[in-house]
């Protein structure tokens, strides 16, 4: 039996009309009309700049976790360092290095791109690049954390404990779940 190709198949879709119906502080909402197999359809979606996330893994097989308030879910959740690709044209790896420093006070000498994730393809064009960072060192910077970042809690968690928290349903941040499981699988 031949293995099935499971890669996403991108299409050159003819967009008939695109209108920004809401301009937000971080992302916008766009309404597009397009031709799909001879039928005209209309869809609204979140137009997102993209993001990065970092599984920072130390020599004790622990990952850096951050506890941060997320207003949309009205919860303080555990997640890995992450951030927006909000500098036009910025390389995702450069952004990942910046976010690791700003959120976790860490730098890494070894970087590996684990995967890319379309977070909610039915309603957003957000694409998140997931990196594994190793050979970590503590670092200082002049970045000032404000808003929800001002009171972030940071801690090291054994990778095995994070995987167990995911499998038991305790940890539900989708990007962190995917990133941690990808890091875990890459080490097997």
Where helices occur in the chain by DSSP H, the ranges are 92-104, 159-167, 174-186
CB-CB neighbours of 97 under 10 Å: 19
Measured between alpha carbons, how far is residue 127 from residues 10, 62, 63, 134, 146 in Å?
14, 26, 23, 23, 25
Where helices occur in 66-144 by DSSP H, the ranges are 92-104
In sequence order, the β-bridge partners of residue 158 are 62
- Report, as residue numbers or ranges, the catalytic residues: 149
Are the C-beta atoms of residues 129 and 52 closer than 8 Å to each other? yes
Are the C-beta atoms of residues 85 and 116 closer than 8 Å to each other? no
How far is Cα 81 from Cα 154, in angstroms, rounded to an integer?
10
């Amino acid at each position: 039996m031949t293995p099935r190709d499971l890669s996403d198949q991108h299409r050159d879709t003819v967009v008939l009309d695109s209108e920004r119906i809401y301009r937000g502080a971080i992302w916008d909402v766009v309404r597009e009309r397009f031709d799909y197999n001879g039928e005209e359809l209309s869809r609204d979606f979140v137009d997102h700049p993209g993001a990065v996330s970092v599984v920072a893994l130390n020599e004790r097989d622990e990952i850096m976790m951050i506890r941060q308030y997320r207003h949309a879910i009205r919860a303080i959740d555990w997640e890995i360092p992450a951030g927006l690709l909000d500098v036009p044209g910025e390389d995702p790896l450069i952004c990942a290095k910046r976010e690791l420093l700003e959120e976790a006070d860490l730098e890494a000498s070894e970087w590996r791109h684990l995967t890319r994730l379309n977070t909610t393809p039915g309603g957003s064009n957000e694409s998140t690049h997931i990196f594994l960072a190793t050979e970590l060192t503590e670092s200082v910077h002049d970045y000032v954390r404000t808003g929800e970042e001002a009171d972030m809690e940071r801690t090291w968690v054994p990778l095995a404990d994070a995987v167990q928290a995911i499998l038991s349903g305790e940890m539900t941040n989708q990007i962190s779940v995917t990133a941690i499981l990808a890091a875990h699988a890459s080490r097997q």
